[in-house]
Amino acid sequence: MEWWQAILLGIVEGVTEFLPISSTGHLTLVEKLLGFSIADPSVTAFTAIIQVGAMVASIIYFWSDIVRFATAWFAGLFHAERRSDPDYKMGWAIIAGFAITAVLALALKDLVEGPLRSLWAVVFGLLGWSIVMFIADRLAKSTRGEGSITVKDGAILGIVQAVALIPGVSRSGATISGGLLLGIDRVSATRMSFFLGIPTLIASGVFEAASQFHNIAGGAGWVATGLGTLVSGVVAYVSIAWLLKFVAHNDFTAFIVYRVVLAAVIAVLLLTGTIAAV
């Protein structure tokens, strides 16, 4: 992989990771347009690893929140009277969501890295989850704040987050719309998406780095992978700030329209033979 390709893919990851438009779908499309085989294990690993940069950006952005949740969680473990603290419950919600997603991700690993590594999967993922996002955006009663999030909510969102293993669905789109359907307000659902994503995608990136070390070295290359990860982190930091401001005052109509248009464009490219599905 050339340095400019790594930078381009890092930018794509940083821009799309937290927007409900599917970072994996975008990376898969761009990788294909650059001439890479999206079924290549090193390309799959590269895609997972550069997400760590975006997660590091979110850790930096939400550092004070993370410290607050961790402090409350540890305090609640040893002091019963602290267990009514919403931050203690949030700590357990994040742990529950991450654990469930991790188990499902490991169970479905061969499927995700095999048959689902196709641009047709991206098309159906974009279209299918756009319907869910539309329903959540229009019908959900967003009456609950962040302080009301429970372990049960975290577990449900962990299952929903696992659905985003399907390329095109979008991890953030899945968890945000899932949060809305649980009655959580738009900003709190978006923040919860970030909190669930941090351990999930860092664990995924570390796992791929360890298990695909030799494939990366002989494929994309560790220099390119490191460069893509760094660029994704810088770009993602800006993307986080923008998204939180956007969701405070807007619904997801623009994202839904974009997803449908993108799915149509990819489908046309596939049907005309301009690009191959894998």
* DSSP letters for the chain: --HHHHHHHHHHHHHHTTTTT-HHHHHHHHHHHTT--TTSHHHHHHHHHTHHHHHHHHHHHTHHHHHHHHHHHHHHHH-GGGGG-HHHHHHHHHHHHHHHHHHHHHHTHHHHTTTT-SHHHHHHHHHHHHHHHHHHHHH----B-GGG--HHHHHHHHHHHHHTTSTTS-HHHHHHHHHHHTTB-HHHHHHHHHHHHHHHHHHHHHHHHHHTHHHHHHTT-HHHHHHHHHHHHHHHHHHHHHHHHHHTT--SHHHHHHHHHHHHHHHHHHHTTSS---
**In a domain? residue 162:** yes
**In a domain? residue 278:** no
**In a domain? residue 276:** no
Percentage of residues in the chain with pLDDT exceeding 70? 100
| pLDDT(113) > 80 | no
Q: What is the pLDDT of residue 28?
A: 87
More confident residue, 116 or 194: 194
Average pLDDT over residues 165-179: 91
**In a domain? residue 109:** yes
- The pairs formed by 87-90 with CB atoms below 8 angstroms and a separation of 24 or more are 89/149, 89/150, 89/151, 90/146, 90/149, 90/195
Structurally, the chain folds into a number of domains equal to 1
Which residues touch 97 (CB under 8 Å, ≥6 apart)?
Answer: 154, 155, 157, 158, 161, 196, 200
**In a domain? residue 184:** yes
Which residues touch 269 (CB under 8 Å, ≥6 apart)?
Answer: 119, 275
* Reported confidence tier of residue 176, pLDDT bands at 50, 70, 90: very high
**In a domain? residue 23:** yes
Q: What is the pLDDT of residue 4?
A: 92
Average pLDDT over residues 157-176: 91
Q: Facing residues of 184 across strands?
A: 144
Instruction: Supply 205's token pair.
Output: 């990136």
More confident residue, 45 or 272: 272
The model's pTM is: 0.88
Q: What is the pLDDT of residue 248?
A: 80
Average pLDDT over residues 231-251: 90
Q: Which domain holds residue 57?
A: 3-271
Average pLDDT over residues 95-112: 90
* Cβ atoms of 102 and 200 closer than 8 Å: yes
Least confident of 67-71, 190-194, 274-278: 274-278
- Top-ranked range on mean pLDDT: pick from 27-41, 198-212, 262-276: 262-276
**In a domain? residue 277:** no
**In a domain? residue 221:** yes
